[in-house]
Amino acid sequence: MGRKARDGTLSRNLEGRLMCSFCMRPEAATGALIAGPDAYICEACVFECSRILARETPAQWLSAVTDLPRPRELHDFLDQYVIGQEHAKKVLSVAVYNHYKRIGCCSALGDPELGKSNILLIGPSGSGKTLLAETLARRLAVPFLIADATALTETGYVGEDVDGLIRRLVQSCDNDAQRASLGIVYLDEVDKLAVRHTVSRSRDVSGEGVQQALLRFMDSSVVRFAPRERGAARRPEWLEVDTRQILFICGGAFEGLAQLVERRRRGHGIGFTVDLPGPRRCSNFLAYAEADDLIHYGLIPEFVGRLPVVSVLDPLDEDALVRVLTEPANALVRQYTKLLAMDGCELHFTRGALHALAQEALARGTGARGLRTVIERVLLEPMYRLPRQREVQCLTIDERAVRDGGSPSGFEYSCSTRA
């Protein structure tokens, strides 16, 4: 036994009793300790170590890579849940595939070099940014966390700092730090971190400060913290997460960015651009957004540099919203049909009603997000009455029922009893 094991702090606790050098529990609590030249280890820690090693063997990584869905498969899966956004689907499928392929290969070959390709999604509210990220994470069965960039603070301020974000990811994996490090973090509203947007905000935390804090995590940084429930057997005292394998997908509407792009493309100082941009033109110009435009918008160059993959999503038009209502595997119309079927009622929407719903959602300017609100309003009255009105067996929502705002009269008008 080495000198350190006898005298050093690694092997004895404050009372001078032998302890496990890994979890620091005394011999009385751990049972037999296995001695090394400089340290001791208990059974629980041996178990934990073998579990970690089992996951890190190259063979396992390679099989994970062989099982990795190819970009085309990822795209097909996205198609089941996300309407439109073809470009974003393609870009994301490839980027996410490459990300996990890289992780697998680098780990297998013991290569620490990991050029990570975090992703930036630019698109209006309710166009499917979160949905795309979430659906990919579900297909890959990797941990997924959604966070709002505007709620983040610099370390030391009140609120959730970036460390807290990683901690939340680990907690969502039942404190499995290893698994958490393969996760995807979707960071919403990063456009609100732009320097020019934070000047007039009331909170004392600058968006720039948060951008700086995020930089560290988007590359590689070890976050170390104590798990919430301590003391339980076989639970390490500290959890460590290396963020270098965590994929960050950032999203934002970037209002006004299209105008910046347009101005750049037309050359500065030419007066005729002023009153040209309409919504359609703007989204066209967004497709030409470059790193410089994002920096001009107020993101710091280092932050933009960490987001090499950029995709622009289209605003959903009326036809797209009708498809969102009906086509996805978990489409709203399917959901409510199932819900009313539980009350023994068959629900139908006419084509006119679907378009009216889409138009109303469109008017709200929150993209597909508005659809649920509108459909809830229209179906409120029927859903309120149905559980009592046993005779109603077939309910057709037509255009008028939508336009009448789901008033009782609209309901009377559109429901019928079947013999």
Ligand X SMILES: Nc1ncnc2c1ncn2[C@@H]1O[C@H](COP(=O)(O)OP(=O)(O)OP(=O)(O)O)[C@@H](O)[C@H]1O
List contacts with ligand X (CB under 6 A). Answer: 82-85, 123, 125-131, 188, 251, 316, 324, 328, 367-369
Nearest distance in Å: CB 48, Zn ion: 8
Q: By C-beta, is 107 or 283 nearer to ligand X?
A: 283
Q: Is 293 helix (H, G, I), strand (E, B) or coil?
A: helix
* Residue number, 55 or 369, with CB nearest to ligand X: 369
How far is 162 from 258, CA to CA, in rounded Å? 29
Nearest to 31 by CA among 44, 15, 49, 12: 44
Locate 51 and state its tokens: 């579990």
> Considering CB distances under 5 to 8 angstroms, the limit depending on partner class, which of Zn ion, ligand X, none binds residue 126?
ligand X
Q: Cite the beta strand spans of 90-191 per DSSP E.
A: 119-122, 144-148, 152-153, 160-161, 184-188
Give which of Zn ion, ligand X, none residue 131 binds (C-beta under 5 to 8 Å, depending on kind): ligand X
Smallest gap, in angstroms, from Cβ of residue 180 to Zn ion? 22
Of residues 5, 33, 39, 45, which one binds Zn ion by CB under 5 A? 45
Annotate 271-296 with b (16+ C-beta within 10 A) or e (fewer).
eeeeeebeeeebbebbeebeeebbbb
The interface partner of residue 185, options being ligand X, Zn ion, none and the CB cut-off 5 to 8 Å by kind, is none
B/e letters for 79-110, b = 16+ CB within 10 Å, e = fewer, are: bebbbbbeebbbbbbbbbbebbebbbebbbee
* Distance, CA of 249 to CA of 140 (rounded, Å): 15
Site string for Zn ion, 8-37 (x = CB under 5 A): ------------x-xx--------------
The reply, when asked if residue 415 is annotated as ligand binding, is no
* Helix/strand/coil for 240: strand
Please give the Cα distance from 254 to 294 (Å, whole number): 9
Rank residues 9 and 416 by Cβ distance to Zn ion and give the closer one. 9
* Contacted by 100, from Zn ion, ligand X, none: CB < 5 to 8 Å by type: none
Q: Which is nearer to Zn ion, 231 or 271 (CB)?
A: 231
> At its nearest, how many Å lie between ligand X and the CB of residue 313?
7
Q: Which does 33 bind (CB under 5 to 8 A by kind): Zn ion, ligand X, none?
A: none
Q: Of these partners, ligand X, Zn ion, none, which one is at the site of residue 170 (CB under 5 to 8 Å by kind)?
A: none
Q: Which does 129 bind (CB under 5 to 8 A by kind): Zn ion, ligand X, none?
A: ligand X
- Residue 22 or 81: the one with the smaller Cβ distance to Zn ion is 22
Q: How many residues bind Zn ion (CB under 5 A)?
A: 5
Spatial separation of the C-alpha atoms in residues 185 and 53, rounded to whole Å: 25
Query: What is the enclosing helix (H) or strand (E) of 394?
Result: strand 394-397
Residues 284-313, mask of contacts with Zn ion (x by CB under 5 A): ------------------------------
Q: Is 45 annotated as a binding residue?
A: yes
User: Could you give the CA distance from residue 39 to residue 73 in angstroms, rounded to a whole number?
Assistant: 49
Pairwise CA distance, residues 92 & 123, whole Å: 14
Provide, rounded to whole angstroms, the least separation between the CB of residue 295 and Zn ion.
49
Measured torsion, CA atoms of residues 89, 95, 96, 99, in degrees rounded to the nearest 10: 180
Considering beta carbons, is residue 213 or 371 the nearer one to ligand X? 371
- CB distance 288 to 312 below 8 Å: no
Is 76 or 242 the residue whose CB approaches ligand X more closely? 76
Binding residue positions for Zn(2+): 20, 23, 42, 45
Binding residue positions: 20, 23, 42, 45
Could you list the residues that contact Zn ion (CB under 5 A)? Answer: 20, 22-23, 42, 45
